[in-house]
Structures are given as structure tokens and as C-alpha cells.
Amino acid sequence: MPASNQNAIELIALTKRYAQGKPAVDSISLRIASGSYCCLLGPSGCGKSTTLRMIAGHESVTSGDILLEDRNITDLPAAARGTAMMFQSFALFPHLSALDNVAFSLKMKGVDKPTRHKQAADLLERVAMGHLSNRKPAELSGGQQQRVALARALITQPRVLLLDEPLSALDPFLRIQMRAELRRWQKELGLTFIHVTHSQEEAMALADTMVVMNHGVIEQMGSPHEIYNRPISEFVARFMGGHNVLNTARGKISVRTDHMQLSVDEPTLADGLGNKRAVITDIEYQGTYVLIGLQEPGMVQNAASTAEISVMVPEASFDAQPFALGQSVQLRWQPELSHALVH
């Protein structure tokens, strides 16, 4: 990734409100570094897609500003912004070949056929689709259609590429393959990518910066490593997964599921470990590990009253000391591997 201190995109108190009610996006401010890969992440209705559409110019802004490389683009039409959008459905014209799909925006600008076809062919070669340039979308696989959609977005020479859940329509195997290609293309092109997804795994695999949204606001932003290891709130800890939120005398703490151990022994003050009694309610074999679900003893009769606790036990450890449903065990964790949640 090219080093740069410049912000490709800056959002300043950006707000989107539909008629009455709570804003879909509520006065968010965000700086995205030039040449970086940023993922907007969160559950349905959190405001991530609305934010992307406002950056693209496909959604009006209620208040606030959008700057692209210090140029205010808040009220500019989509075509004049210097951004390009890759849609979830790819939105390719079914009656046009891959070549003509890629060249379409240049045709609308009045570029002559030989010139636009030359540029389109060069881009199709770049995404390894040159040999299929005459095929129509129905004759292409999902991954091939995505490459065509990427080439079509790049032909406008954008400074920022916006991706609206581009992998959600693909099968799981192809999704993993294509996210690796997206990351490679972003590095090779040196462009800023802003990618909306609801998949925590996808965001962690792709992003330099993750922005976790909830109810129209930014809950936390940072590197994938920072957010996964130190979620700031109970929402982020639970949304990211792989964490247990525990109530202690000093408030709520988060402990990763793979940082907890199970024991049948009673704790001693000398071991210095955090501890909590729990009952095993679920055992799931996951290959390299066994995922064990637990609840505190007083909550077992009313499972809806509390969130389950989960512990990842390595397969070899479980085989050496199997646990059983209904068994009472001691949860233990190193205090330094836990951290307090702000809210």
C-alpha cells in the first residue's frame, strides 16, 4: 500500500434523515487514508450502505460534508465526484458483451468505438478476462462477472472505489477466492477501496481500517487486530464474535473464547486466575477445536435471560479430557487477557 498522509475521503458530521424518526446516519465523522482498504461493518440497518451511497452521490445528504482529497463533493453529481461504485448484483447489462459492458460509460461520454474498446480490452486483460471479452453476462460465472464489474468501475479512472457487499452473492468457496483477488487488486492499483459488508470475517481479511457501525453511529474504528482484541463496547464484542462478555464486581469485561479454559477443579486464591462457575449446555465439534457453550448455574432454567458463554477447547485437549452436557465446570482466564468494556 502506498504511504500517504493524505485523506482520500473525509466525512464531517455526516447525517442522513428520512422524514420523521431517528437518523439513518447520525452525524458521523471519519477520515480514510489515501491508498487504504476500509471496511464499513455492522448489522442490517446500521447505516453502512447509506453512508456508502452518500459518498457515491446516489443518496442526498441531510447535513454535513464529504471531502475527497480536500475537495468538497457533497453536492456534486455522482459522475463528477471521482468515485466509482461496484454493486452487490454487479448490475451488468445482459444484452452486452463483457467488452461493451466495460466500455459503456465511455460510450455515454462520446468516446469513439476504437478508443473505448481499446481501453476496455486493456482493463479486461488486467483482471484476467481478456479471453472472455465477447461473452455476455449469462455466459460467465459469478466470479467472472465480478471481474467484469470491477473493470467497468475502473474505466472511469476513479480515485476511490466503493464496493457495496460485492461478495455476498457468491458461494462460500468463491467468496474466499474473490476477497483475496480484491485485496491484490487494491494493492496493485494503489486506489482507496471503501467496502461495505456485514461479514466480520470478510472485513478482518481485507481491511487496513475497520469501521464498526450501529444505529447510525460509529461504535469503533481501528485495525482488525485492534478491534478484535480490544472491542470498546459490549456491542462490538458480541458483534465481532469470539468474545465472552462477563459481569464482574467492577463491571463488564470481555474475554476471548480461545483465552478461557475449563476445569473440574475448584479455584484457589493462589492461582491468580479469573474464575466463574458454569454449566455446559452445548458441545459442537468444529474440527481443530470443540466449541463448548455454557451458562451460569442460576440461569440454566431460563436460557433466554442471559447470553451463553463460549469456550474454544483444542481438539487434542478435549480428547484427553472430554466434557459432557450438564456438567458443572470452572471457567478460568488470565486477568491480563481480559479488558474492561466502556459501555
In a domain, 172, yes or no: yes
In terms of residues, how long is the chain? 343
Q: pLDDT at position 41, please?
A: 96
The x, y and z cell numbers of residue 158, run together, are 476513479
* Cβ-contact 62, 50 below 8 angstroms: no
Mean pLDDT of 301-322: 78
Residues 268 and 228 in one domain: no
In a domain, 243, yes or no: no
How far is residue 42's CA from residue 39's CA, in Å, rounded to a whole number?
A: 10
* Cβ-contact 212, 220 below 8 angstroms: yes
Q: How many domains does the chain have?
A: 2
Give me the amino acid identity at 321: Q
What would the pLDDT profile of 221-246 be if each residue is shown by its tens digit?
999 999 999 999 999 999 999 999 98
In a domain, 297, yes or no: yes
pLDDT tier for residue 17 given thresholds of 50, 70 and 90:
very high
The x, y and z cell numbers of residue 97, run together, are 458483451
CA separation, residue 189 to residues 64, 83, 115, 173, 279 (Å): 30, 14, 22, 25, 52
Distance between first and last Cα of the chain: 34
Residue 292 domain boundaries: 253-340
Cα angle for residues 157, 161, 163 (degrees, 5° grid): 145
Residues 67 and 190 in one domain: yes
Q: pLDDT at position 126, please?
A: 84
Q: Is the pLDDT of residue 325 over 90?
A: yes
Q: pLDDT at position 239, please?
A: 95
Q: Is the pLDDT of residue 271 over 60?
A: no
In a domain, 1, yes or no: no
- For residue 89, how many other CB atoms are within 10 A of its CB? 12
Residues 153 and 284 in one domain: no
How far is residue 82's CA from residue 161's CA, in Å, rounded to a whole number?
A: 9
Residues 333 and 267 in one domain: yes
Residues 16 and 148 in one domain: yes
Mean pLDDT of 310-314: 95
Residues 212 and 257 in one domain: no
In a domain, 247, yes or no: no
Residue at which a domain ends, from 207, 234, 261: 234
Lowest-pLDDT range of 55-59, 273-277, 289-293 = 273-277
Q: pLDDT at position 91, please?
A: 80
Q: pLDDT at position 185, please?
A: 86
Residue at which a domain ends, from 182, 204, 234: 234
CATH number of the domain residue 329 falls in: 2.40.50.100
CA separation, residue 69 to residues 31, 42, 110, 140, 214 (Å): 11, 26, 28, 36, 27
Residues 84 and 170 in one domain: yes
CATH number of the domain residue 176 falls in: 3.40.50.300
How far is residue 299's CA from residue 113's CA, in Å, rounded to a whole number?
A: 70
Q: pLDDT at position 43, please?
A: 94
Q: pLDDT at position 167, please?
A: 82
Residues 6+ apart with CB under 8 A from 76: 57
The x, y and z cell numbers of residue 226, run together, are 485492534
Residues 51 and 121 in one domain: yes
Q: pLDDT at position 267, please?
A: 64
Task: Please report, rounded to a whole number, the percentage of residues in the chain having pLDDT higher than 70.
Answer: 94
pLDDT tier for residue 173 given thresholds of 50, 70 and 90:
confident
DSSP string, 282-315: EEEE-SSEEEEEEE-GGGTT-GGGSPPEEEEEEH
Torsion of CA 190, 195, 199, 201, to 10 degrees: 10
Mean pLDDT of 149-162: 90
pLDDT tier for residue 5 given thresholds of 50, 70 and 90:
low
**Global pTM exceeds 0.95:** no
The x, y and z cell numbers of residue 26, run together, are 447520525
The x, y and z cell numbers of residue 308, run together, are 451463553
- For residue 206, how many other CB atoms are within 10 A of its CB? 23
In a domain, 248, yes or no: no
In terms of pLDDT, which residue wins out, 223 or 250?
223
* Angle between the N-to-C axes of helices 142-154 and 113-126, in degrees from 0 to 180, rounded to the nearest 10: 130
Q: Is the pLDDT of residue 4 over 90?
A: no
Q: pLDDT at position 298, please?
A: 60
In a domain, 246, yes or no: no
Q: Is the pLDDT of residue 19 over 90?
A: no
* Cβ-contact 74, 36 below 8 angstroms: no
In a domain, 242, yes or no: no
Q: Is the pLDDT of residue 108 over 60?
A: yes
Residues 223 and 146 in one domain: yes
Q: Is the pLDDT of residue 170 over 80?
A: no
Q: Is the pLDDT of residue 1 over 60?
A: no
Residues 220 and 270 in one domain: no
Residues paired with residue 275 on neighbouring β-strands, in sequence order:
332
Residues 258 and 212 in one domain: no
Q: pLDDT at position 268, please?
A: 60
In terms of pLDDT, which residue wins out, 113 or 247?
113
- For residue 95, how many other CB atoms are within 10 A of its CB? 10
What would the pLDDT profile of 83-106 be if each residue is shown by its tens digit?
998 877 778 899 999 999 999 989
Phi-psi region of 314 (alpha: psi -120 to 50; beta: other; left: phi over 0): beta
Q: Counting Cβ atoms within 10 Å, is residue 28 exposed (0-12), middle (13-18) or buried (19+)?
A: buried
Mean pLDDT of 30-57: 95
Residues 269 and 124 in one domain: no
Q: Can you tell me whether residue 206 is helix, strand or coil?
A: helix
The x, y and z cell numbers of residue 95, run together, are 444484452
